Chain A
Amino acid sequence: MLKYKFDWAVVTSGKYFDWLASGLYVTIQLSVVSVALSFLLGLIIAVMRMSHVRPIRWFAHGYLEFFRNTPLLVQIFFWYFGSYKILPQAVNDWMNRQNFEFAAAVVALTIYTSAFIAEDIRSGVLSIPKEQMEAARSSGFSYLGSMRYIILPQAVRLTIPPLINQFLNLAKNSSLAMTIGVAELTYQARQVESYTFKGFEAFTAATLVYVVISSVITILVNIYNKTVLRPMRAR
């Protein structure tokens, strides 16, 4: 017989609710900033990866393999603890006075996710017939111009489903930031647990919130797809 008494009031009101809410706020900040940055960076890396200039292509290839194939947790520790050794002391001192935990988490999440996004975008680009590029080039577009105006708008649209995956992963991966003391949702849920011993309630609340965040991301991207990208294709 379980004697555990459920006490949902712990997480639906009062101090502990505030903790979880503040954790949610940090998770959203982390996710939004990292989604935007990793998408931009992913685009740039994807274009570099397909460049005709060999060193650029090699660099992008190396970047992809390196960051795709190392665990995110290791990268978070690298940016948070490891960067100390390679940066000048003055920079370290300055950063330690800022919210360096948050910044390190954003950098790690952005770089890690951008590697996956770049590959998704590249596969989108590869699915566009290469005659389009040739036509664009012979019409006088530069390489970057053809990418910017002809290829990428189509490729990104094709990339939407895998991109949703990457954004969802990113939102969930942001929970790893707790390991360096970023007070995001999972961190706060754990705080609530250690203060109240109501772990079941705290983590259930956190789980539900993650489901909501993921659903919102999916819905937003789908709306963007329907209202902005589809009409472009019809045009």
Chain B
Amino acid sequence: MKKLGALILSLVLAGGLCGAATAADTLAEAKKKGILVCGVKDSLPPFGYVDAKTREIVGYDIDFCKAITKKLGVKLELKPVTSASRMPQLMEGNIDIIAATMTKNPERAKQIDFSDTYFFTGQKFLTKKGTVKSLKDLGGKRIGTAKGSTSEQNAAKAVPSATILSFDDYPQAVLALQQGKVVAVTTDESILAGQLGKLNKEPSTKGQYEIPDIQISDEPYGLGIRKGDTNFVNFVNKTIGEMEKSGEAKKIFEKWFGPNSDTPLKRNFKITAGK
């Protein structure tokens, strides 16, 4: 029902916003005020979460916000957003940019502009080592995931003969995998990597699981910017492009997704202009 509520809310908000939105010049505004407000997640490690020690929001997304404000020479203000609230917040002007694990898709691109892809992930599978080498190995098998996610639909499309078991949350699906009740758990690789990290911390399961290189959907994340604010889009793209060249972008990736992190991932993308 949460989704329905969000749907109604967003419809109402969208109705109220019609006509109010005019192309803003975020760049000039931010310089004038000396502050840029960045909408981030605050409970989704390692993208954006509250650090237990410092009580500050940290993460991959936050580091990109920091780099942009540094380049711009203004102060950074972080504002927590949810997946449902981030676009209305941006359009209303409560935040200036979204850095909140937002997948770029055509539907969203009708309402806001996106930067170049600054993080690239995709839906993959978490399995016991050596049991699954290709999608064929999953045919007719049982696959676990969490309810209500797009992961479920993608998996059903990719392996029609498999039985998809939807649990309430990912940790349960992983438990079912450990007990042999499913042969794979499927969702965004960044989430799976977090679960794999947990399994590898446990001495009894260390090194027994893997994420095979089978990707069934692409999830390119982009920074969200108000529609028509071309100046700011160009500025952001230039900034993250330079970060790629200087190696800073890679450093940020290694910090949160490196081999010693809780969510070890391979960096299979580069920030490229126009992508």
Contacts and interface: CB of A to CB of B under 8 A. Distances in A.
B167 A193 contact: no
A100 to B, nearest CB: 7
Interface residues of A, number: 25
B180 A96 contact: yes
A190 B148 contact: yes
Contact of A179 (B8, B149, B167): B167
Interface in A86-124: 92-93, 96, 100-101
Nearest to A193: B3
Interface string A167-191: 0000000000011110000010011
Contacts of A3: 11-12, 15
Given A179-B167, A199-B1, A194 B148 contact: yes
Given A93-B180, A96-B181, A187 B166 contact: yes
B186 to A, nearest CB: 14
Interface string B2-29: 0110011001100100000000000000
Contacts of A100: 181
Contacts of B204: none
B162 to A, nearest CB: 13
A101 B165 contact: yes
Contact of B175 (A81, A193, A195, A200): A81
B213 to A, nearest CB: 26
B131 to A, nearest CB: 14
Contacts of B3: 193-194, 197, 199
Given A194-B147, A194-B149, A203 B1 contact: yes
B202 interface: no
Contacts of B153: 194-195
B11 A4 contact: yes
Nearest to A198: B4
A199 B6 CA distance: 11
Contact of B148 (A4, A179, A193, A203): A193
B268 interface: no
Interface in A34-54: none
A230 B3 CA distance: 50
Contacts of B152: 191, 194
Contact of A96 (B11, B12, B147, B179): B179
B107 interface: no
B112 to A, nearest CB: 20
A143 interface: no
Interface string B145-173: 00111001100000000000111100010
A200 to B, nearest CB: 6
A4 B179 contact: no
A77 B175 CA distance: 11
B129 to A, nearest CB: 18
Contacts of B11: 2-4
A84 interface: yes
Contacts of B4: 193, 197, 199-200
Contacts of A203: 1
A2 to B, nearest CB: 7
Interface of A: 1-4, 81, 84, 92-93, 96, 100-101, 178-181, 187, 190-191, 193-195, 197, 199-200, 203
Given A81-B175, A101-B181, A199-B3, 11 more contacts: A1-B15, A4-B11, A100-B181, A178-B147, A179-B172, A187-B147, A190-B148, A194-B3, A194-B147, A194-B149, A199-B7
Interface of B: 1, 3-4, 7-8, 11-12, 15, 144, 147-149, 152-153, 165-168, 172, 175-176, 179-181
29 contacts: A2-B8, A2-B12, A3-B15, A4-B8, A81-B175, A81-B176, A84-B179, A92-B179, A92-B180, A93-B180, A96-B179, A178-B147, A179-B172, A180-B167, A181-B144, A181-B166, A181-B176, A187-B147, A187-B166, A193-B3, A193-B148, A194-B3, A194-B148, A194-B149, A194-B152, A195-B153, A197-B4, A199-B1, A203-B1
